[in-house]
Amino acid sequence: MLAAILLSLSLPSYLTIHAVWLIPAIEGVLLLALVGLTPRTGGQSGLQRRRLALALIGLVSASNLLNLVLLIHRLLNGPGTLGRPLVLAGTEIWITNVLLFAVWYWELDRGGPLARRQAVLRAPDFLFPQMTDVHLGGIDWRAGYVDYFYTSFTNAAAFSPTDTMPLSPMAKMLMLVQSLTSLVTIGMVVARAVNILH
Task: Please report, for residues 22, 79, 99, the alpha-carbon distance to residue 63 in angstroms, rounded to integers and kept in the order given.
Answer: 11, 24, 14
DSSP 8-state symbol, 5: H
143-168 average pLDDT score: 93
Residue 143, SS3 per DSSP: coil
Q: Which of 14-23, 56-65, 95-104, 158-167 has the lowest mean pLDDT?
A: 14-23
Question: With contact defined as beta carbons under 8 Å apart, do 90 and 185 qualify?
Answer: yes
pLDDT of residue 179: 94
Task: Please report, for residues 34, 105, 169, 180, 186, the alpha-carbon distance to residue 173 in angstroms, rounded to integers and kept in the order given.
Answer: 25, 11, 6, 10, 20
Question: With contact defined as beta carbons under 8 Å apart, do 114 and 42 qualify?
Answer: yes
132-146 average pLDDT score: 92
Look at the chain and count its residues.
198
Tell me the whole-structure pTM to 2 decimals: 0.82
The domains of the chain are located at 2-197
Residue 22 — φ and ψ, nearest 5°? -65, -55
Q: Which of 38-42, 56-60, 162-166 has the lowest mean pLDDT?
A: 38-42
Q: Which carries the bigger pLDDT value, residue 81 or residue 72?
A: 72
